[in-house]
């Protein structure tokens, strides 16, 4: 099965499979029924502190990715990552994010970790 990243504002596609919102906050201006989100594991998202640090421009994407991976080692996050990994073994999974640059976001880190499994 495949895992991919899409912006949550893009319309759903027939081959999206399970649509998993990987942002801590609900996307601005998007109605919940219009998002077609199947799961929203908030515990899998970067901490508020890490998110604010990265968006303030205080560090590089590489450092953000390292810090986020360290957060994903915590028990709750590791369990949720395992759940998404299991979903991806059974079906296609689309990670949804409101990030304007998904390729340099936490969603890209998740995609890499899920692809490595």
Q: What is the pLDDT of residues 14-28, one digit of tens each?
A: 999 999 999 999 999
List, run by run, the mean pLDDT of 10-residue segments along the chain (117 residues).
93 95 95 93 95 89 96 96 95 95 94 87
Q: Which two tokens stand for residue 81?
A: 């990552």
Asked if 20 and 96 count as a contact pair (C-beta separation under 8 A), the reply is yes
The whole-angstrom separation of Cα 10 and Cα 12 is 6
Residue-range domain boundaries for the chain = 3-116
Asked if 50 and 64 count as a contact pair (C-beta separation under 8 A), the reply is yes
Taking the whole predicted model, whether its pTM rises above 0.85 is answered as yes
């Amino acid at each position: 099965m495949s895992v991919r990243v899409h912006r949550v504002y893009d319309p759903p596609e027939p081959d999206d499979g399970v649509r998993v919102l990987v942002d801590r906050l609900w996307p601005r201006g998007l109605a919940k029924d219009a998002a077609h989100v199947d799961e929203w594991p908030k515990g899998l998202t970067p901490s508020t502190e890490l998110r604010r640090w990265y968006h303030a421009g205080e560090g590089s994407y590489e450092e953000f990715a390292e810090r986020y991976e360290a957060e994903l080692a915590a028990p709750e996050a590791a369990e949720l990552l395992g759940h998404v990994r299991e979903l991806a073994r059974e079906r296609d999974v689309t990670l949804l994010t409101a990030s304007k640059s998904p390729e340099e976001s936490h969603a890209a880190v998740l995609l890499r970790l899920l692809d490595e499994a």
